[in-house]
Amino acid sequence: MSSKLEALQRWVDEVAKLTRPAQIHWCDGSDAEYQQLVQHMLKTGDLIELNQQTHPGCYLHRSSPSDVARVEHLTFVCTKDEEDAGPNNHWMAPTEAHAKMDALFEGCMEGRTMYVIPYCMGPIDSPLARCGVEITDSPYVVANMRTMTRMGAAALARIEREGSFVKGLHSTGELDPERRFIMHFPEELTIKSYGSGYGGNALLGKKCHALRIASYQAKSEGWLAEHMLIVGIENPKGETHYVAAAFPSACGKTNLAMLIPPEGYRQDGWKVWTVGDDICWMRPGADGRLYAINPEAGYFGVAPGTSDNTNPNALSTIARDTIYTNVAITADNQPWWEGLPGKPVTDWQGRPYDPANGPAAHPNSRFTVSAKQCPTWSPHAEDAQGVPLSAIVFGGRRPSLIPLVFEAKDWAHGVLIGAAMGSETTAAATGAVGVLRRDSMAMKPFAGYHYGDYFRHWLSFDKPGAKLPKIFHVNWFRKGEDGSFLWPGYGDNLRVLEWMIDRVEGRAPGKQTPIGTLPAHGELKLGDLSLDSATVDTLLDVDHAGWTAELAAIGEYLHSFGARMPQQLHAEQQRVAKALDEAAPAPRSAVAS
Ligand code: OXD
Ligand code: MN
């Protein structure tokens, strides 16, 4: 096969000349092609068949043990001017990066098949969608891209019609961590990735295209590419509000996207609809509202912790036609990970399970599955124009200080809240407890350009005629003095979402505070939750001294980005600091005198 688009054909020919594959396969995305790939990988051992009675169409892939996660220290943004990549990215000069990568790619596909994958990020007929072509020598990447994107003939037709596409070149190389780089050339709409088969490094449509390159494209085209889930909340009257939410990893994004309402809410007729669990592209519509699409067609989710208690929707989504990566298996060949009932017999590396070797499933083991298999998949997930957003939510893991929920005073304040967001690390993750890592808008590893310019771009959406979503911050992870979580989380998070919708609808006056609007007494519908009033008070408390210190830390953080940080964001920080100052309780001596 070949393409009638000269730019595409020329690039494929150039890559073939450089990498010297034994053969070239243009992917059409058909079922027959997928079955052939699976059969091929079963023969080579790239895939292992799982129990087809309990898990029809499910397979296991075991990666190289040194290739199990994204590699931020080997991920670069290569802009002509170093300043454009910003202090939030590793940078390399484009000429140097191309030379380094082309040396690695030279002859790397000898004896291998080179797959050409045309793909579309977003519904195939959506004006918000964007296309790319990934060239890879990994059949595992092809099979995953087929699930995660709209891949094949229809995407190729759109690319040939539009004439433009993001170029992604990938090879697993020798899977040598010393010969591994993930390079982005936003000015050339190009990605080069070598030496890793892991999803975030190798499925180039996902983090590389849909976040790093797309965020850069979005800046010049007037839209936003964000690390956010999208969820629809339907009330008993049948009205649906869509919410996009950004959280750093390990904060329950997939769980929130697939939330099951508490029993009482279910009886009353509340429903939750999943549009996306990881990435959101949004753009103002003709009516001034922000419309969002999920550029992905599948979920590449973390398996451990996914259970009938935490996320029954995810569990039923992955009961069939799923590729598992680095999970353990049971005696009867079912996939297994920590959090599931039953027992592992073989660990993620294929060894007999021995607790002395650590967890049976790798902590970052994954499932790849079509979004359509989710029981709560939204009937509007494929709408070409996207879904209109009522709210944007930022959140992090903050054991202290940050209330359960508060609302930004306006858009610019919301941008400040997103810029300031972060998560406190746990001992298990880093060895150091309570270290706050700022991860603005959960985009620290993914913004493809300078954070200062990125915040300026966010601020620019507030213009005459705009009907922007309200911005909120949530914290499901507040802890009491005994270290236990104060808020039950999971399905009960719907209570917080309901309050946000009440705010959007003008039904909840709220309580104004220097940091934003909090639920006034009685506005959060706590129903049959057995939370005592002291716990509710703690969850909704604004601690002046703590917040004054937090605002000072936010100010320092903004300054660390130098002159490109918009003055407007500094002014926002000062506005909140001043409001706190003015509302501060009188000092003790003043009270006494
Ligand atoms: C991530 C992911 O690393 O979604 O954020 O895989
Ligand atoms: Mn993610």
The CATH number given to whatever domain includes residue 90 is: 3.40.449.10
Residues 202 and 348 in one domain: no
pTM above 0.95, yes or no: yes
Report residue 592's pLDDT band, with 50, 70 and 90 as the boundaries: very low
- Rounded to whole angstroms, the Cα distance separating 59 from 82 reads 43
Q: Is the CB of 439 under 6 A from ligand 1?
A: no
Residues 185 and 147 in one domain: yes
- Residue finishing a domain among 373, 393, 417: 373
- What is the pLDDT averaged over residues 413-436? 75
Is the pLDDT score of 390 beyond 90?
yes
Q: State residue 528's pLDDT score.
A: 83
Q: Is the CB of 206 under 6 A from ligand 1?
A: no
Q: State residue 127's pLDDT score.
A: 97
Q: Is the CB of 249 under 6 A from ligand 1?
A: yes
Residues 139 and 218 in one domain: yes
- Residue finishing a domain among 328, 347, 373: 373
Question: At what angle are helices 6-19 and 94-105 packed, to 10 degrees?
Answer: 60
- What is the pLDDT averaged over residues 68-95? 96
Task: Specify the residue with its C-alpha closest to ligand 1, atom 5.
Answer: 249
Residues 254 and 366 in one domain: no
Residues 246 and 217 in one domain: no
Report residue 584's pLDDT band, with 50, 70 and 90 as the boundaries: confident
- Rounded to whole angstroms, the Cα distance separating 404 from 536 reads 9
User: Which is nearest to 568 in space by CA: 465, 442, 419, 444?
Assistant: 419
Distances (CA, A) of 284 to 246, 308, 412, 442, 514: 19, 38, 17, 21, 30
Is the pLDDT score of 252 beyond 90?
no
Report residue 430's pLDDT band, with 50, 70 and 90 as the boundaries: very low
Residues 143 and 23 in one domain: yes
- Residue finishing a domain among 343, 373, 403: 373
Test site for ligand 1: of 207, 255, 277, 368, most ligand atoms within 8 A of the Cβ: 207
Q: Is the CB of 70 under 6 A from ligand 1?
A: yes
Q: Is the CB of 253 under 6 A from ligand 1?
A: no
Adjacent-strand bridge partners of 404: none
Residues 331 and 200 in one domain: no
Classify residue 61: in a domain, yes or no.
no
Q: State residue 262's pLDDT score.
A: 95
Percent pLDDT > 90 in the chain is 93
Classify residue 452: in a domain, yes or no.
yes
Q: State residue 250's pLDDT score.
A: 72
Test site for ligand 1: of 68, 70, 72, most ligand atoms within 8 A of the Cβ: 70
Q: State residue 586's pLDDT score.
A: 76
Classify residue 562: in a domain, yes or no.
no
CA of 267 to the centre of ligand 2 (A): 33
Give 280-319 pLDDT, tens digit per residue. Answer: 999 999 999 999 999 999 999 999 999 999 999 999 999 9
Classify residue 553: in a domain, yes or no.
no
Residues 289 and 327 in one domain: no
Residues 195 and 338 in one domain: no
Q: Do residues 525 and 536 touch, judged by C-beta distance below 8 A? A: no
Average pLDDT of every residue of the chain: 95
Residues 291 and 160 in one domain: no
Report residue 423's pLDDT band, with 50, 70 and 90 as the boundaries: confident
Classify residue 317: in a domain, yes or no.
yes
The β-bridge relationship of strands 470-474 and 328-329 is unpaired
Residues 6+ apart with CB under 8 A from 332: 51, 54
How many CB atoms lie under 10 A from the CB of residue 76?
A: 23
Give 441-469 pLDDT, tens digit per residue. Answer: 999 999 999 999 999 999 999 999 999 99
Q: State residue 432's pLDDT score.
A: 60
- What is the pLDDT averaged over residues 37-63? 98
Residues 361 and 239 in one domain: no
- Rounded to whole angstroms, the Cα distance separating 180 from 117 reads 22
CA of 394 to the centre of ligand 1 (A): 16
- Rounded to whole angstroms, the Cα distance separating 352 from 240 reads 49
Classify residue 357: in a domain, yes or no.
yes
Please work out, in degrees rounded to the nearest 5, the angle formed at the alpha carbon of residue 379 by the alpha carbons of 378 and 384: 100
Q: Is the CB of 298 under 6 A from ligand 1?
A: no
Ligand 1 closest atom vs CA 227:
5
Give 484-498 pLDDT, tens digit per residue. Answer: 999 999 999 999 999
Q: Is the CB of 296 under 6 A from ligand 1?
A: no
Report residue 588's pLDDT band, with 50, 70 and 90 as the boundaries: low
Q: Do residues 248 and 420 touch, judged by C-beta distance below 8 A? A: no
CA of 278 to the centre of ligand 2 (A): 5
Q: State residue 428's pLDDT score.
A: 39
- What is the pLDDT averaged over residues 327-337? 98
**How many domains does the chain fold into?**
3
Task: Specify the residue with its C-alpha closest to ligand 1, atom 6.
Answer: 200
Distances (CA, A) of 461 to 173, 224, 283, 375, 415: 42, 10, 9, 34, 10
Is the pLDDT score of 408 beyond 50?
yes
Q: Buried b / exposed e across 440-471, counting CB within 10 Å, b at 16+?
A: bbbbbbbbbbbbbbbbbbbbebeeeeeebbbb
Report residue 425's pLDDT band, with 50, 70 and 90 as the boundaries: low
CA of 204 to the centre of ligand 2 (A): 13
Q: Which residues are catalytic?
A: 251
Residues 254 and 157 in one domain: no
- For residue 33, the enclosing domain spans 6-47+72-222
Q: State residue 589's pLDDT score.
A: 59
* More confidently predicted of 71 and 451: 451
Ligand 1 closest atom vs CA 302:
6
Quickly list H helices, 269-394: 312-317
Q: State residue 1's pLDDT score.
A: 73
